[in-house]
Amino acid sequence: MSYLLQHLHNGWQVDQAILSEEDRVVIIRFGHDWDPTCMVMDETLYKCAEKMKNFAVVYLVDITEVPDFNKMYELYDPCTCMFFYRNKHIMIDLGTGNNNKINWAMEDVQEYIDIVETVYRGARKGRGLVVSPKDYSTKYRY
Amino acid sequence: MSKQKQVSFQKNPNETESQIIGDSKALADDIIKKHTLDSDEEDVQDNQDDRMEDDDIEGQEDDTIAFDGSTTITPFNMREEMETGHFDKTGTYIFDKETEIKDSWMDDIDWVKVKQNAKAVKEKELESSDSEPEEVDELSLWKEMVSLMLPGETVAKSLRRLGGGNKKLSSAQRLKAKKLGIKPTEEEIKNKEFFQTLTSLADKFIQSGYMEIYDDTYEKIAYKIQEKEQPIKKVPEKLPENEEDALDMFGDEFDEKVAKSESKNNDEPVLKKRKVEPVATAPSSTDDIQWEYKQTDEESAEICGPFTSSQMQQFVDDNKFPGGVYVRKVGAGSDFYSSKRIDFELYT
């Protein structure tokens, strides 16, 4: 787990983080710092954050501390990553059937950056749904 | 039941032209009637068939005495009510509309004309709401602003430097200064002018919907100017390098520059489109992205390329990869991904 990624401690901060970012993708990881899945994800996010600082920013949200979004975003999984661009939720076709979020831990840094870059490019061109370069349907079955 | 009001639809072979005209006139009158002040009330057709007759109301009694001492006795019947209205078959009491609210202003209205005008007005409204606040000639505005700012300053900071720098004088002090004949120095006057120019420039951006203007730094604005000028042609002087010249907003050179940029902007409508989205620092300039691909996912497969994003998009459009190929970005260290899942258009 990394303390170098910024945590958001209440709903208002989350809203502001999403709202205030002008031309970067806002990545929000919902989960718990102590959760093993989140630890893996956070590690990846930490490694990515510097590389994609020009087009994306990462925030961590504890879903127990900030339960405001649990219902709206259906945050039932141990670890959920969601993408926002200019206050708009960007969907990604990951092949999993759930286009709203990445709800597993990703370990491959480059893979993650590729997804975020696709999100960024798509969002900038006004797309609400982008297709992730990789199909995750075979790997992560429900 | 009164039958005289019932309309007969039997065609009268002797019907004359004038009758038809009369009818249509009646129809027009009817339309106009609907536009009376109480037109939003239900148009109750005064259909005699729907009326409840006096006999249908059960349990009525004849009038007895009008007064018992000083107490008024209301007779147990509906006679009084029937004078001002009637019941329909379902028992709803309906007031007779005898006295229509008349308004001489309403009588004057030519409804045919109103209808025509309404259409035009609606169109006009649509137009005005659609049309964006007037596009500002941003390039020249940016340039003008940057000329008033110092490197490293935000617009707000510049304003503070130009305007807030001199301390506020109390009225007594001001009076004293006036008595002594101390006039504001030339620089102060100049600063004040710059301050006003900068404020009005910033205001133009605010009005065009760009709210972050006060937080923009000299460098950011300079970058924006550069961004805008680049696609047109390489202009040697992107920025007023010479601070002196640039600050001298009345200098001929500067005016020329502004004029030049203005004319440039008019030639290039493409520019405005670019401005709609604030320029983001893209992951890597879109022109740089090159792709290579191989037909199979095997290690040994031959790698073709590199190709640019637009070339790749062309390949996809031409259906050159019917089964999909495995592509990756050159130099990014990514894995090979199926071309089916990659939208090359995003990279162009």
- Report CB contact under 8 Å: B278, A22: yes
Chain A interface includes B347 (CB < 8 A): yes
Residues of chain B in contact with residue A127, where contact means CB-CB under 8 angstroms, are 346
Residue-wise pLDDT tens digits, B117-168: 888 887 777 766 555 545 557 788 888 888 888 877 788 888 888 876 555 6
Q: Over 60: is that where the pLDDT of A132 sits?
A: yes
Which residues, at least 6 apart from B226, have a Cβ–Cβ distance to it below 8 Å? Answer: B238, B239
Residue A99's φ and ψ, nearest 5 degrees, are -85, -5
Rounded to two decimals, the ipTM of the complex is 0.72
- Is A121 in contact with A90 (CB distance < 8 Å)? no
Q: What is the pLDDT of residue A82?
A: 92
Summarize the confidence of residues A27-50 as an average pLDDT: 90
Apex B333 CA angle, B331 and B338, nearest 5: 100
Q: Over 50: is that where the pLDDT of A20 sits?
A: yes
The minimum CA-CA distance between A131 and chain B, rounded to whole Å, is 6
Whole-angstrom distance between the N-terminal and C-terminal Cα of chain B?
Answer: 83
Domain boundaries, chain A: 6-131
Q: Which long-range contacts (CB under 8 A, 24 or more apart) does B93-102 make?
A: B94/B44, B97/B38, B97/B44, B100/B36, B100/B38, B101/B36, B101/B37, B101/B38
Chain B interface includes A139 (CB < 8 A): no
Residue-wise pLDDT tens digits, B214-238: 878 787 888 888 877 776 544 444 4
Is 0.95 topped by the overall pTM? no
d(CA A16, CA A19): 5
Using DSSP's 3-state secondary structure scheme, residue B293 falls into: strand
Mutate to test the interface with A, among B325, B343, B345 (most CBs of A within 10 A): B343
Strands lying side by side in the sheet with B326-329? B304-308, B290-294, B326-329, B337-338
Residues of chain B in contact with residue A132, where contact means CB-CB under 8 angstroms, are 341
Q: Over 60: is that where the pLDDT of A37 sits?
A: yes
Structure tokens at A80: 């959920």
Q: What is the pLDDT of residue B214?
A: 81
In which band, very low, low, confident or very high, does the pLDDT at A27 lie, cut at 50, 70 and 90?
A: very high
How many C-beta atoms surround the C-beta of residue A49 within 10 A? 18
- Residue (of B133, B128, B33, B51) closest to B90 by Cα position: B51
Chain B interface includes A107 (CB < 8 A): no
Chain A interface includes B333 (CB < 8 A): yes
Domain boundaries, chain B: 137-229, 290-347
Chain A interface includes B341 (CB < 8 A): yes
Q: What is the pLDDT of residue B134?
A: 54
- Report CB contact under 8 Å: B343, A131: yes
The minimum CA-CA distance between A30 and chain B, rounded to whole Å, is 25
Residue A23's φ and ψ, nearest 5 degrees, are -130, 40
The domain B290-347 having CATH identifier 3.50.50.60: the answer here is no
- Is B147 in contact with B247 (CB distance < 8 Å)? yes
Q: What is the pLDDT of residue A34?
A: 92
Give percent of chain A with pLDDT exceeding 90.
27
Chain A interface includes B188 (CB < 8 A): no
Count Cβ atoms within 10 A of the Cβ of residue A130 and give its class: 0-12 exposed, 13-18 middle, 19 or more buried.
Answer: buried
- Report CB contact under 8 Å: B342, A131: yes
Q: Is A99 left (phi over 0), alpha (psi -120 to 50) or beta?
A: alpha
Mutate to test the interface with B, among A51, A114, A130 (most CBs of B within 10 A): A114
- Paired sense of beta strands A56-62 and A25-31, if any: parallel
Residues of chain A in contact with residue B277, where contact means CB-CB under 8 angstroms, are 23, 124
pLDDT tens-place values along chain B, 348 residues long: 444 555 555 555 554 444 545 555 555 555 555 555 555 555 545 556 677 777 777 788 888 888 888 888 888 888 888 888 888 888 888 887 766 666 777 777 777 778 778 888 877 777 665 555 455 577 888 888 888 888 777 888 888 888 765 556 677 777 777 777 766 677 778 888 888 888 888 888 888 877 778 878 787 888 888 877 776 544 444 444 444 444 545 545 444 444 444 444 444 444 444 333 333 344 555 556 788 888 877 777 778 778 888 888 888 888 877 777 888 887 767 778 888 778 887 777
In CATH terms, the fold of domain A6-131 is Glutaredoxin (3.40.30)
